[in-house]
Amino acid sequence: MTDAPNTPAPMLLAHEQPLPPRLDLYVAAAFLTLGMAIIGVSLSMPTFYERLQQIYTAPAVVPALHGAIIALLSIWLGVRSLKRGAIGQKIGNVVVVREGYSNMRLAAAALMCLVYAGGLIGRMPFWLATILFVTAFILLFEWRRGLEPRELAKRALIALAVGAGTGVAVVLVFERLFLVRLP
Amino acid sequence: MILNNLSMFGDAFAQFVGTWMIFNIFWAMLLGIVIGALPGLTATMGVALMTTLTFTMPHQQAIMVLICIYVGAIYGGSRSAILLNIPGTPASACSTLDGYPLARQGLAGRAMGISTSGSWLGTLFGTMCVVMFTPVLSEMALTFQSYEFFWIAVFGIVIAGTLSGGDALKGYMAGFLGLWIGTIGQEQYYNYPRFAFGSTDLAGGIGLLPALVGTFGMAEVLMAMRAPAAKAVSSKIDSVIPRIADVTKYWRTILRSGAIGTFIGILPGIGEDVAAWSSYAAAKRASKEKENFGKGSIEGLMAAETGESACVPGAIIPVLTLAVPGSAPAAVLMAAMMIHDINPGPMLMITTPNFFYEIVAMLVIADMTKLFYGFFLVRPLLKILLVPRERLMPIVFVLCVVGAYAITSRVFDIYVMVFFGFLGFVLRELKFPMPPLILGLVLGDLLEANLTRGLVISSGSVAPFFIRPISGVLAAITAFSVVWSIPAAQDWIRASLRRAFRRAPAAG
């Protein structure tokens, strides 16, 4: 995408760029809570010692171990974030602004997915739910304010075609050809 | 013995000769390449979604389709990397460094020829390693007891956390989170529902496939919709036929990258992206033309492509021998094998030896089909690459829903997929690597069964976990990996080694 092919773009993996220490501290707190909760719930489980005369087969042994390790690792993360200046540092100063990323688009996509998976499926035939979801998804993201009516109609038609095509193709390929059950 | 092996290989290849099978191979490879080429769709997602489609097929056909998708997707990623400067999969990010500059110089066809030959040779090299090492490792694994298998599971999580890139500590946390999630539901001794809180659905446990589809499918839909639209920069295409001179000139690079890629594939949870970057770095270090790297180096592109493609068969080796996946797509492949009643692990060579020969045949056939498409599938692919994500992502999500539901027909699995979609997205945003989480989910049963069995056998003594030779070595490597991930400890070890080496000549 760059016009200067002679200089290779730095190819850092997404998780190679560290989070601000303050956020890491919050993450550590959340994981510590989870680890402690796992230990707490594990301790309330029965041991069934009377059945096999064994304590090592008790249902809580392994999850409690995982919970303890998660708690220990989160303490390590917390201490590390404190050493890196988690307290006293303003979080807003260090968050990297990523150009072109949109939380609105994310929220809209997440909401559409939730409505489809939790609301439409099971309340109507799968093919109909799929047509509605795909068409609405495309329309929502391709709609722009001030579009010519002709262009809008064209986009709506494409959305409907892709939606109908997906609904029909998924049913035909999965249910009829490969005998896979659909929701 | 040799004749017997050859006969078994012959039988395995003969199974893939029918018309229906050839049809399946060709569409699966084409789909794999398209999935790999489309930015936002990964090999893991492709294999996970297609596991559902192949659910009712006989196991040979189903695994053949999935291997074609896996091999094709890893190769397909380089198409968009070279032509559009957009890596189709994380594994092909390395190919943009030299692939796109070559395309800018009017050598897109040659770059794709290099990619095709490197990828083809890489997979072939890795497949040869499968033939050579799988029986040996299986034989060795048969001597393992619960103690060794426990450490293999822990080692897998730790090594995936250490090497999957980025923050090792978060890698460990993701791994143990995956292990804990694996304990949800009824346990094996008393069928006690753990962490179910009265829900019969939770008591049934978290399905591996819905979790994988959510983590790699839905999470990627959300990430793609949040990110800015990728701007494609297309290039003119010259001849895509690979040149023999490019292969003969860089045979050392091909062998080195093949070996690195296969080795990284064997390591649990470390995927093709690490294989590509490591092969590229090794090639640059050894090259006489270092200055060309990043500016359109044929050697650099060859190294990256060979490394990532050799990693595919490499990642299948530990699946067949230890039931430990070498990469995220291999984890899904392993789950698919289990769905088809094939039990990966050391007993595989004893209970279903044919399957080993079939896997080798599948890899070779997939590699040959990839070569075929390498010659012909360039221009049509360009049109597919330009499909806007707004039209692609809802279709992907529909497939995620179908993929999550189809195996057990539980609506609950759709909710599990959605939950893991959000979890995967949030964890990625918080810089948690995903391979350890998936490995944790996959290895949870192996770890728990062997830890409890080992403790019961030893009457609660933990000594056998440390004093048995292989257990001891695995425990030491695991501990060293954790210590090595602490920067201060790493500096101290390096300084100590430097001091020791300086003292040694003086003493001599």
* DSSP state string for B465-494: HHHSHHHHHHHHHHHHHHHHTSHHHHHHHH
Instruction: Return d(Cα B431, Cα B421) in angstroms, integer.
Output: 15
What's the burial of B367, exposed, middle or buried (CB within 10 Å: 0-12/13-18/19+)? Answer: buried
Going along B98-227, which residue ranges are E strands? 185-186, 193-194
Provide, as residue numbers in chain B, all residues whose Cβ is less than 8 Å from the Cβ of A68.
Answer: none
| CB contact B198 to A (< 8 Å) | no
Instruction: Return d(Cα A114, Cα A136) in angstroms, integer.
Output: 13
The CA–CA distances, whole Å, from B402 to B52, B74, B342, B396 equal: 8, 24, 23, 10
- When pLDDT is averaged across residues B209-231 and rounded to a whole number, the result is 85
pLDDT of residue B235: 59
C-alpha distance from A152 to closest chain B C-alpha (Å): 15
Asked if the structure places residue A2 within a domain, the reply is no
Q: Is residue B475 within 8 Å of B466, Cβ to Cβ? A: yes
Q: Which residue of A has its CA nearest to B94?
A: A11
Q: Both A26 and A76 in a single domain?
A: yes
Confidence check: pLDDT of B419 > 60: yes
Closest by CA position to B87, among listed B43, B32, B39: B39
Q: Both A86 and A124 in a single domain?
A: no
Asked if the structure places residue A80 within a domain, the reply is yes
* End-of-domain residue from the set A43, A77, A94: A94
What's the burial of A181, exposed, middle or buried (CB within 10 Å: 0-12/13-18/19+)? Answer: middle
The answer to whether the Cβ–Cβ distance between B173 and A63 falls below 8 Å is no
Q: Tell me: the pLDDT tens digits for B129-178? A: 999 999 999 988 888 999 999 999 999 899 888 877 678 899 999 999 99
The answer to whether the Cβ–Cβ distance between A105 and B93 falls below 8 Å is no
pLDDT of residue A4: 40
The CA–CA distances, whole Å, from B310 to B120, B125, B305, B375, B377 equal: 9, 6, 8, 20, 22
User: Nearest CB to B53: which of A60, A112, A178?
Assistant: A178
Residues 9-38 of A with CB under 8 A from B: 9, 11, 13-19, 23, 27, 31, 34, 38
Residue B339's CB is within 10 A of a number of other CB atoms, namely: 17
Q: CB neighbours of B463 closer than 8 A, spacing ≥ 6? A: none
* End-of-domain residue from the set A68, A94, A120: A94
Q: Both A70 and A118 in a single domain?
A: no
- Beta bridge partners, B186, equal B193
Give Cα B244 to chain centroid, integer Å. 29
| Exposure of B209 in the CB half-sphere (CA atoms within 13 A) | 31
| CB contact A181 to B (< 8 Å) | yes
Task: Please give the tally of structural domains in chain A.
Answer: 2
The answer to whether the Cβ–Cβ distance between A15 and B391 falls below 8 Å is no
| CB contact B88 to A (< 8 Å) | no
The answer to whether the Cβ–Cβ distance between A66 and B179 falls below 8 Å is yes
Pairs across A and B, CB distance < 8 A: 217
User: Nearest CB to B406: which of A11, A162, A180?
Assistant: A180
Q: Which residue of A has its CA nearest to B228?
A: A100
| CB contact B409 to A (< 8 Å) | yes
Asked if the structure places residue A5 within a domain, the reply is no
The answer to whether the Cβ–Cβ distance between B406 and A181 falls below 8 Å is yes
C-alpha distance from B17 to closest chain A C-alpha (Å): 20
| CB contact A7 to B (< 8 Å) | yes
Q: Both A167 and A109 in a single domain?
A: yes
Q: Is residue B314 within 8 Å of B264, Cβ to Cβ? A: yes
User: Nearest CB to A59: which of B85, B194, B417?
Assistant: B194
Provide, as residue numbers in chain B, all residues whose Cβ is less than 8 Å from the Cβ of A179.
Answer: 56
Provide, as residue numbers in chain A, all residues whose Cβ is less than 8 Å from the Cβ of B308.
Answer: none
Q: Is residue B102 within 8 Å of B304, Cβ to Cβ? A: no
- When pLDDT is averaged across residues B196-224 and rounded to a whole number, the result is 90
Instruction: Return d(Cα B232, Cα B211) in angstroms, integer.
Output: 32
* DSSP state string for B351-400: H-HHHHHHHHHHHHHHHHHHHHHHHH-SHHHHHHHT--HHHHHHHHHHHH
Closest by CA position to B452, among listed A161, A41, A61, A5: A61
| CB contact B342 to A (< 8 Å) | no
- When pLDDT is averaged across residues B28-55 and rounded to a whole number, the result is 87
Pairing of strands B185-186, B193-194: antiparallel
The CA–CA distances, whole Å, from B375 to B26, B114, B115 equal: 14, 11, 11
Produce one character per residue of B402-429: b if its CB has 16 or more CB atoms within 10 Å, e if not.
bbbbbbeebebbbbbbbebbbbbbebbb
Q: Both A124 and A82 in a single domain?
A: no
What count of residues does chain A have? 183
Asked if the structure places residue A19 within a domain, the reply is yes
Amino acid at A21: P
Q: Tell me: the pLDDT tens digits for A66-88? A: 999 999 999 999 999 998 888 87
The answer to whether the Cβ–Cβ distance between B194 and A170 falls below 8 Å is no
ipTM of the complex: 0.87
The answer to whether the Cβ–Cβ distance between A77 and B170 falls below 8 Å is yes
Domain hosting residue A76, numbered range: 14-94
Amino acid at B64: M
| CB contact A170 to B (< 8 Å) | yes
Closest by CA position to B75, among listed B271, B305, B348, B289: B305
Residues 121-140 of A with CB under 8 A from B: 121-122, 130, 133-134, 137-138
Q: Both A20 and A67 in a single domain?
A: yes
- When pLDDT is averaged across residues B98-108 and rounded to a whole number, the result is 85
| CB contact B10 to A (< 8 Å) | no
Going along A2-65, which residue ranges are E strands? none
Instruction: Return d(Cα B488, Cα B494) in angstroms, integer.
Output: 10
Residue B133's CB is within 10 A of a number of other CB atoms, namely: 18
pLDDT of residue A129: 95
Residue with more model confidence, B501 or B391: B391
Asked if the structure places residue A1 within a domain, the reply is no
Residue A14's CB is within 10 A of a number of other CB atoms, namely: 13
Q: Both A89 and A114 in a single domain?
A: no
Q: What secondary structure letter does DSSP report for B462?
A: -
Residue with more model confidence, B102 or A65: A65
Q: Both A117 and A69 in a single domain?
A: no
Asked if the structure places residue A4 within a domain, the reply is no
The answer to whether the Cβ–Cβ distance between A183 and B414 falls below 8 Å is yes
Q: What tokens appear for A140 in the block?
A: 């929502």
pLDDT of residue B238: 66
Q: Is residue B122 within 8 Å of B250, Cβ to Cβ? A: no
The answer to whether the Cβ–Cβ distance between A110 and B222 falls below 8 Å is yes
Q: CB neighbours of B344 closer than 8 A, spacing ≥ 6? A: B319, B320, B323, B334, B337, B338
* End-of-domain residue from the set A94, A115, A135: A94
Q: Is residue B328 within 8 Å of B277, Cβ to Cβ? A: no
pLDDT of residue B506: 52
pLDDT of residue A40: 96
Residue B15's CB is within 10 A of a number of other CB atoms, namely: 17
Q: Both A18 and A73 in a single domain?
A: yes
Instruction: Return d(Cα B233, Cα B24) in angstroms, integer.
Output: 33
Average pLDDT over chain B reads 88
Q: Tell me: the pLDDT tens digits for B254-298? A: 999 999 999 999 988 778 888 998 999 999 888 888 888 888 899
Residue with more model confidence, B88 or B122: B122
Q: Both A28 and A68 in a single domain?
A: yes
In this predicted structure, which of B23-37, B237-251, B342-356 has the lowest mean pLDDT? B237-251
Provide, as residue numbers in chain A, all residues whose Cβ is less than 8 Å from the Cβ of B100.
Answer: 5
Residue with more model confidence, B444 or B234: B444
Which residues in chain A land under pLDDT 70? Answer: 1-18, 89-99
- What's the CA dihedral at B29, B135, B453, B211 to 10 degrees? -10
Q: Is residue B236 within 8 Å of B106, Cβ to Cβ? A: yes
Instruction: Return d(Cα B505, Cα B508) in angstroms, integer.
Output: 5
The answer to whether the Cβ–Cβ distance between B273 and A15 falls below 8 Å is no
- In angstroms and rounded to an integer, the radius of gyration of the C-alpha atoms of chain B is 23
| CB contact A76 to B (< 8 Å) | yes
Q: Both A172 and A107 in a single domain?
A: yes
User: Nearest CB to A130: which of B222, B398, B418?
Assistant: B398
Instruction: Return d(Cα B136, Cα B42) in angstroms, integer.
Output: 32
- When pLDDT is averaged across residues B60-66 and rounded to a whole number, the result is 94
Helix (H, G, I), strand (E, B) or coil at A54: coil
Q: Both A115 and A87 in a single domain?
A: no
Produce one character per residue of B208-234: b if its CB has 16 or more CB atoms within 10 Å, e if not.
bbbbbbbbbbbbbbbbbbbbeebeeee
User: Nearest CB to B401: which of A55, A99, A183?
Assistant: A183
The answer to whether the Cβ–Cβ distance between A183 and B418 falls below 8 Å is no
